[in-house]
Structure 1
Amino acid sequence: MNIKLVTTTYQEDNKNTFESSKAFSVDRGVEMKVVNIYPEMEYQTFDGFGGAITEAAGYTFSLMSEEKQKRILDAYFGSNGNRYNLIRTHIDSCDFSVGQYAALEDPEDTGFNSFSLERDEKYIIPLLKEAQQMAGKTLSVMLSPWSPPAFMKTNGQRTEGGSLKPEYRQFWAEYICHYIKQYRNKGFAVDMITIQNEPNATQTWDSCLYSSEQEKEFLRDYLYPSLMANGLEDLEVCIWDHNKERMFERACEIIDKDTDKMVQGIAFHWYTGEHFDAIKLVREKFPDKKLIFTEGCVEYSRFSEAGQLANAQMYAYDIIGNINAGMNSFIDWNILLNKEGSRTM
C-alpha cells in the first residue's frame, strides 16, 4: 500500500508542487522519521468536506467562461480535486448575495401562494446542479437563514439584527419547512439546517438575534413540531452556527431532556480564534451530537499581507485542530468570489 505525497512550496509567491509516493512498511520498532497508524483506535465519524454556494458565488460563476467553470467545478467536486460532498447555502439573502430578497413578502400569505425561488433559480440552483453533475452523485445540502422576511422582525428590516416577532414564530417555522421541501423537489438532498446564522451578532447585513432561550423555544415549540407535521423528521437540526468560544454554553443552555431528540448537531464558525477547547468540551458533554464547521475564512481585511502560504498554514492548523477536538465535518465559506466579493452592504 502506498501513500501519495504532494508538497507545495511558495517562494516569493511562486508556487512549486512536487509529488512523490511512499510505501507503507511493516512495523519494525523504528523510532525516527515514522508515521504510526493504529486502525483499531476509533474516534468520531468524519462526514466530509464542503463549501458554501452563495448567490455571490453563483453570480461570479455565471460570468466565467465554460472552460474556467469546468476547472473550478473539477477542483472542488471532481475525482481529481477536493471531492467535496457537502454544500451550505442560504434561505433568502445573506451578506454574500447581490441584493436583499425574500421568497415571500406578503404577511397574509400563510398558504405560500406567492412563495417563489426566482432569485435562487438565477444563480444558486444552476451552480448547485453543475456541482452535483461534476461530483457524479447527490450532494448533502445544508440550509441556513440569515434573517426572516422584514415583516416578521421587530426592527422591520433584514439588516441590523432585530429579532423574530413572537406572533410570527409559527409562520417562520412553516416558511423554513416550505423552503426545504421546494429544494428537495428540485432534486437536492437538503438533510441539514441551522436555526439561525450567527444569532449573537447584529450586522449591517442580513442578521437576526436569538438568545439561547429564544432559540430553544423556537426549536421546541415551533420548528420541531412543524418539521414533524411536514414529514421532515429525517432532517438534522443544528443549533448555534456562530463562533467557537461560546458553543459550549449555547449547547448546554439549549439541550435538555425535552430538546435532546430535536438537536442533531452544533454548528460553529471560525472568526475569533482557534478555541479547540470549546469544541472538545462539547464533544465530551454531548458525544452523540455532530460538530460541524459551517463557516470561516482567512479574512482579507485582517490578513492581506500574510501571503498564500501563511493563509494556507492558518487553514491547515485550524482544520487539524478542529478534527483533533472532535469535529465531524468541515464546510468552508464561499467557494469562489470576484475581487469585490459581490457582497451586499
Structure 2
Amino acid sequence: MLRRKLLLAVAAAAAALTALTAVILYNYKQEQTRPSPSEVNAWVTTGDQSSLLAPQEPFLFRDSADTEGETAQSGLPVIKVNPDQEYQTMDGFGASVTGSSAFLINQRMSNDQRNALVKDLFSPEGIRLSFIRHSVGASDFSVDADGNPASYTYDDTESGEDYGLERFSTAKDKDVTGLLQRIVDTNETVKVMGTPWTAPPWMKYGEQIHNGWYLNYAEPRVYAAYAQYLARYIQEYKALGIPIYALTVQNEPEFTTADYPSMSMGAEEQALFIGNYLGPELQRQGITSKIVAFDHNWDIAGSYTQTVLGDAKANAYTDGTAYHCYAGSPEVMSKVHEAHPEKEIYVTECSGGAWSEDFGDNLTWLMSKLIIGGPRNWAKSVLLWNLALDAEGGPTNGGCSNCRGVVTVDGQWQSGYSRNVEYYALGHASRFTDPGAVRIGSPQAGGIENVAYRNPDGSIVLIALNPGDEDRTFSVEWAERTFSFTLQARSAVTFKWQS
C-alpha cells in the first residue's frame, strides 16, 4: 500500500513538473517572438538655444499593449514608424565649398583651427557632413589669392577661341581643391557635386564676358567644346584625388545677371546639350559622373524639368533634377517624382542670411522645408549654400551681400569660427543618417513634422520638429513598442535606436 502511494506521488510530481516545463517553454517562446526592449537616444536643439544638438538621457521603449490605453486616453498624436514602407535611398547632407569659403578656411585660419573645423564638419566626432557642392570656375562667392572678387573659368583667353582647350587650367581653384582634398582625406566617402555658373566667355553669344548672356547657339562647335570642357574638369579633379560624383549642367539656368558669373540656358537648349553633346562626351570618355538637370527654384521647376526629362535623348543621360529653395515649396519635387519616378531628386542650394536672424524662426524653417520637407518630397540630398563666410557675409563676388554660412570664420573666437543655426539643422540629419540610408514610413501626426530612416546597419533614425509656439507631447510607435516625448516650441529632436 505504501509503495502504491509512493508511486502515485511520484507520478503526480512528474505531471506537475511537465506542466510547469510547458508553461516555462510557452512563456519563453512568447518572449522570443516579442521585440526586445530597445534603448532610445535623443538629441535636441531648442529655439531658445538652451540646447544645441544636446544629448538627452537615454530611455527605453515600452510595450504598446501596456500603453495603448494611456495613449488613447491622453489623446497624444502618434508617429508610427514603419520600416517596411520604403522610399528613396539617401546620398547625404552638406553645403557648398565656394571660393570664398575655401579662402577663409585656408587663409584666415591657423592650421590647428582649420583641422579642428574640418573635423567638426566632416568627421564622426562632429556633424559628419557627407555631400559637398562647388562651382566649376567662379561663382558669386569667388575670390583671388588676396581675397578680392574674382571672376574666371578654366579656359579664359585674352582674345579669340580655344576649341582645342589648350589654355585649360584649374589652377585658380587652388584654395578650393586644397580644401576639398582635406575634406576627402577626413571623410573618404564624401560625395562631390560640381556646378558651372558660366562657360568661358569666348563660348558665349554677344558680349564675351563672365557675367551674363548665354552660349553661342549659332556656332555648333561651341556645344561640343563646352561638353569637352566639363569632361576635362571632371578628369582633372579626379587626378587631384577629388572624384566628381555628379555634375549639374548650369546653376540657375533661368537667370542671368551682369552682377556676377552667370549664364542662361533654356530647357530646350539644356535638353539638346545633354542629349547630343554632354552625355555622349562623358560616355565616350568612360566618365560615370551623374548628369543632373535644372538646378533652380522650386516655383519654376514644372515645365523646365518636363521639357528636359521628356526629351528621349536627354532623358537617357540624365540622372535626375536639382532644386533651390528661394521661391516655391518642396512639394513640387513630389510632382516631378510622380511624373518621372525613375529619376533622382536633389536639393542643392539654400542660404540663410541677415534678413532673418531669429534662431528659433530659422531653425523651424530649415527643419520644416529642407531637413524634413526635402526628403519627404523625395530629395536624396539636402545641401545648403556657403560652408563658411566671414562676419560680414563675405567675401563676395557681386552676389548676395548678407548671406550666412553654415559657420562664420571670425578671429574673435579662439577656435577661429562660430556655428550658425544652419550647422545645427544639418547636424540633426547628417550626424545620424548614414549615406545609403532608406527613408521609411512615418506619417505626420498632430502638428509634429517628421521624417524617418533605416540606416544600412539597421538602426532607425527619426527626426521631428515642433514648429508651434507651445510645447507638445507626442508618442512614437515602432514594432509593438512605444515611447512618449515632450518637445519645446520651435525645437527639433533626433531619435536613434537599434533595430
Q: What's the counterpart of residue 258 of structure 1?
A: 313
Deviation per residue, 1:118-150 (Å, 9 max, x gap): 1112x1011111112222x14211111000111
Q: Cα offset for 1:3?
A: 2.7
Asked whether the 8 Å contact 2:47–2:361 carries over to 1, the reply is no
Asked whether the 8 Å contact 2:197–2:250 carries over to 1, the reply is yes
Q: Work out which of the two has the higher radius of gyration on C-alpha atoms and give 1 or 2.
A: 2
Q: Cα offset for 1:18?
A: 4.1
**Pairing 1:230-241 to 2, within 5 Å after superposition:** 230-232=285-287, 234-241=288-295
Aligned equivalents of 1:270, 1:262: Cα separation in 2? 25
SS at match of 2:313: coil
1:343 matched to 2:396? The reply is yes
Change (3 A) 1:17 1:281: closer
Q: Which amino acid aligns with 1:220?
A: G
1:58 matched to 2:102? The reply is yes
Asked whether the 8 Å contact 1:213–1:253 carries over to 2, the reply is yes
1:45 to 73, 81, 89: 89
Aligned equivalents of 1:139, 1:15: Cα separation in 2? 28
Q: Which amino acid aligns with 1:343?
A: T
Q: What's the counterpart of residue 180 of structure 2?
A: 128
SS at match of 1:201: coil
Aligned equivalents of 1:60, 1:15: Cα separation in 2? 28
Asked whether the 8 Å contact 2:93–2:381 carries over to 1, the reply is yes
SS at match of 1:264: strand
Q: Cα offset for 1:164?
A: 0.4
Aligned equivalents of 2:119, 2:350: Cα separation in 1? 22
**Pairing 1:142-221 to 2, within 5 Å after superposition:** 142-154=193-205, 155-159=207-211, 161-166=212-217, 167=219, 168-203=222-257, 204-221=259-276
Q: Cα offset for 1:14?
A: 6.4
Aligned equivalents of 1:236, 1:216: Cα separation in 2? 15
Deviation per residue, 1:247-305 (Å, 9 max, x gap): 222111111333221110100001114x12211101111111111001011232x32xx
Q: Cα offset for 1:214?
A: 1.0
> Relative to structure 2, which stretch is displaced further, 25-34 or 200-209?
25-34
Aligned equivalents of 1:211, 1:112: Cα separation in 2? 25
SS at match of 2:291: strand
2:141 to 74, 96, 107: 96
Change (3 A) 1:189 1:27: farther
Q: Cα offset for 1:33?
A: 6.3
SS at match of 2:246: strand
**Pairing 1:266-285 to 2, within 5 Å after superposition:** 266-273=321-328, 275-285=329-339
Deviation per residue, 1:209-232 (Å, 9 max, x gap): 111111111111211121122221
Asked whether the 8 Å contact 2:161–2:203 carries over to 1, the reply is no
Change (3 A) 1:14 1:67: farther
1:23 matched to 2:67? The reply is no
Aligned equivalents of 1:16, 1:101: Cα separation in 2? 39
Q: Which amino acid aligns with 1:222?
A: Y
> Relative to structure 2, which stretch is displaced further, 106-115 or 212-221?
106-115
Aligned equivalents of 2:92, 2:79: Cα separation in 1? 23
Q: What's the counterpart of residue 322 of structure 1?
A: 374
> Relative to structure 2, which stretch is displaced further, 189-198 or 66-75?
66-75
2:350 to 284, 292, 296: 296
Q: Which amino acid aligns with 1:197?
A: N
Question: TM-score if structure 1 supplies the norm length?
Answer: 0.92
Asked whether the 8 Å contact 2:276–2:313 carries over to 1, the reply is no
Q: Cα offset for 1:22?
A: 2.6
Deviation per residue, 1:294-338 (Å, 9 max, x gap): 1011232x32xx322221221111121121111111122111111
> Relative to structure 2, which stretch is displaced further, 24-33 or 82-91?
24-33
Change (3 A) 1:18 1:263: closer
Aligned equivalents of 2:330, 2:263: Cα separation in 1? 26
SS at match of 1:231: coil
Aligned equivalents of 1:237, 1:180: Cα separation in 2? 12
SS at match of 1:226: helix
Q: Which amino acid aligns with 2:94?
A: G
Unaligned stretches of 5+ in structure 2? 1-37, 144-149, 399-499
Aligned equivalents of 1:198, 1:335: Cα separation in 2? 19
Asked whether the 8 Å contact 2:272–2:314 carries over to 1, the reply is no
Unaligned stretches of 5+ in structure 1? none
SS at match of 1:328: strand
Q: Give me the identity figure in percent.
A: 26
Q: Cα offset for 1:113?
A: 2.9
The structure whose RCO (Cα within 8 Å, separation 6+) is larger is 2
Deviation per residue, 1:175-223 (Å, 9 max, x gap): 0110011001111120200110000112221110111111111111211
SS at match of 1:342: coil
1:72 matched to 2:117? The reply is yes
Aligned equivalents of 1:334, 1:89: Cα separation in 2? 9
Q: Which amino acid aligns with 1:287?
A: P
Q: Which amino acid aligns with 2:225?
A: F
Q: Which amino acid aligns with 1:338?
A: D
Aligned residue pairs, count: 336
Question: TM-score if structure 2 supplies the norm length?
Answer: 0.64
- Which structure has more strand as a fraction of its residues? 2
